[in-house]
Chain A
């Protein structure tokens, strides 16, 4: 399954309602509930198809088959195996629509509101048999097991604290605290961008629930030691040692000791 990569510019009119829409979309994204599979609702799919034709088809093709040009190579990959999960992930994190196909998609305020996303998701889901939006039941997940899965599969790119990390040639694995539980679960199943794909035979739904629960824990972990200074390890710790500790100690010796006698005349 190739992941959707490119999308065309959004309608200028959308930007006018972007702000309240963003708030609403974020509020929707923060709830732990999962949208039910909407593939059966014909009206929703039709709305989705219309939105798709206007906003996505110039890069992803009129029927989601992708667009290849002689000059640019793949302008937009095929969405046939993307499934609802991919569409949900990309649209609700604002990574799509992407105005410049060269740049790495990064998290932005979503360009579509909740209902529009639901419609688009429903439509993309009909294009093939890609993954559905995962149902995440945080209560059923085991936190400790989730932690073990996280450290075995995720920390190499996203770091042990989930603060993200550098990939090759300017790409980056993003910080995880911005993502809602459903977005995390969708990303795991979809493998967007450079991320590998962890399907149900690699990571069961129970394991996924535990993993998502641990990622949510990392948003606000126990910090019994005090100010966490990023939780990214020895680099910020070294900065604090020099800029707080050493500065303080040097200030103390400057206070206690005397100044240089060079150039001083006898008092």
Chain B
């Protein structure tokens, strides 16, 4: 043996011993090394979100060194000619400076923005995977609730993040947020005034959003993310049924070295995709939009993709509102607050609703295949259809201009489709599930697949009565 490797090993060993003698880490670390993770590819989608978040924090910190969230009016004198001499806020000016006059500033800003879009896309796909495989069932309801909260926080942080720049497009979005807040019955005017510091535009909103965006929400996400991962470690990951896989075991790879290496590799690769997007594809060209002016607006004003469903709901909603005795519940309340609230309320409540309806309060560590749960899959497909139509509604004017159609006709079509299409999709999905299951020769309702773990359940599922087949319960 040469001197080199031996010296290195002694050093790392010495370091490990130093830490262990103060913290007693060896036992815990060994448990961690030997943890088993099922390594199905669909279990890595949440990880994609995690890595996007890490990239967001790293690039975000860099951006905070240059961005100034001040509403102070200044006159631009930087290197972008078409805006020289134009009056704008310091926030917008610092964003321009970051984009044109700070080396690597633009690529950092663009990586940050693409990472936000992909963070939410990864969360959406992860949510769908967890939903359609029934991974939210006992004992993971708490983690589902934490996950839904993470989704909302990510959504809000993205919205607040791109609104910081005080450009025309995002400022229009803030106007809409203000007005939706205003529409809340009884307290709307107060809420809007307290949030914005007065009537729109309100001089304080950018600074307040800044604190929320760089401190409060990321801290909340970090804490909840830690809890989310800790619960997975404690409860162990779910797994698909297969040879050797039971409710009382977990089959996969050891954490060390394989799973850890794959996870680390995925982190680098995810960052590579984000870096590529950030350098090659232009995003949010605020210099074209110009500084925000409350009396101006551009055609084709849309929010970032993950808010498109809300924007579309506002467009598709017909001109109805409630008025009585001088009081009113204005039109934007219904799609903007009620629909959004209902969406998330249903999302949060789903594990408990499903358990109650199916009577299934068992622990589940084996996942469902979507085809085995036709009703859940059908409802999920219908819900996705509803929101996809809302998304398309948000793009109505761009669709009209691109395809030479009437934007009025498009919106009328969506008004009908948003109610008519989900039931059709639900029916199709249901039949597809039953068909696929029949071909597999496996009855639907995975309660039949579950091996009950004796002695550990507080409530048992309702036993099948004679004559009732397992396929009756979706």
B287: which A residues are within 8 A, CB to CB?
Answer: 222
How far apart are B319's CB and chain A's nearest CB, in angstroms?
A: 15
Stretch at the interface among A28-36, A45-53, A158-166: A158-166
B110: which A residues are within 8 A, CB to CB?
Answer: 225-226
> Would B305 and A234 count as touching, CB distance under 8 A?
yes
**Which label, helix, strand, loop or mixed, suits the secondary structure of the B interface?**
helix
B106: which A residues are within 8 A, CB to CB?
Answer: 224-225
Name the CB-closest residue of B to A167: B407
Number of A-B contacts (CB under 8 A): 222
Chain A contact residues (Cβ within 8 angstroms of B): what range? 35 or more
Stretch at the interface among A8-16, A67-75, A253-261: A253-261
How far apart are A139's CB and chain B's nearest CB, in angstroms?
A: 15
> Would A231 and B288 count as touching, CB distance under 8 A?
yes
B86: which A residues are within 8 A, CB to CB?
Answer: 144, 147-148
- Assuming A246-B118, A249-B273, is B82 touching A214 (CB within 8 A)? yes
**Which label, helix, strand, loop or mixed, suits the secondary structure of the A interface?**
helix
How far apart are A219's CB and chain B's nearest CB, in angstroms?
A: 13
B396: which A residues are within 8 A, CB to CB?
Answer: 166
> Would A244 and B82 count as touching, CB distance under 8 A?
no
Name the CB-closest residue of B to A255: B41
> Would A246 and B125 count as touching, CB distance under 8 A?
yes
Stretch at the interface among B19-27, B43-51, B331-339: B43-51
> Would B407 and A166 count as touching, CB distance under 8 A?
yes
> Would A265 and B405 count as touching, CB distance under 8 A?
no
- Assuming A164-B401, A233-B301, A262-B240, is B282 touching A244 (CB within 8 A)? no
> Would B42 and A257 count as touching, CB distance under 8 A?
yes
Stretch at the interface among A54-62, A120-128, A168-176: A168-176
Distance, CA A249 to CA B122, complexed state (A): 9
Q: Which of A143, A226, A248, A254 contacts B282 (CB 8 A)?
A: A226
A23 located at the interface, meaning its Cβ lies under 8 Å from any Cβ of chain B in the complex: no
B122: which A residues are within 8 A, CB to CB?
Answer: 246, 249
Q: Can you list 8 contacts pairing A with B, beta carbon distance less than 8 Å?
A: A145-B85, A147-B290, A170-B408, A231-B285, A253-B47, A256-B265, A266-B243, A266-B244
- Residues of A that sit less than 8 Å from B by CB: 143-145, 147-148, 151-152, 155-161, 163-170, 172-173, 214, 217-218, 221-229, 231-235, 237-238, 240-242, 244-246, 248-250, 252-254, 256-266
For the complex of A and B, list the 4 residue pairs with the smallest distance between their C-beta atoms, beginning with the closest: A261-B242, A165-B299, A257-B41, A238-B305
- Residues of B that sit less than 8 Å from A by CB: 39-45, 47-48, 80-86, 99-100, 106, 110, 114, 117-118, 121-122, 125, 168-169, 239-245, 251, 262, 265-266, 269-270, 273-274, 277, 279-285, 287-290, 293, 295-305, 308, 369, 395-398, 400-401, 404-409
Given contacts A166-B396, A225-B281, A256-B269, 19 further A-B contacts (CB under 8 A): A147-B290, A151-B293, A156-B299, A158-B299, A164-B401, A168-B406, A170-B405, A234-B303, A238-B308, A241-B277, A246-B118, A249-B48, A252-B269, A257-B43, A257-B44, A258-B41, A259-B41, A261-B240, A263-B242
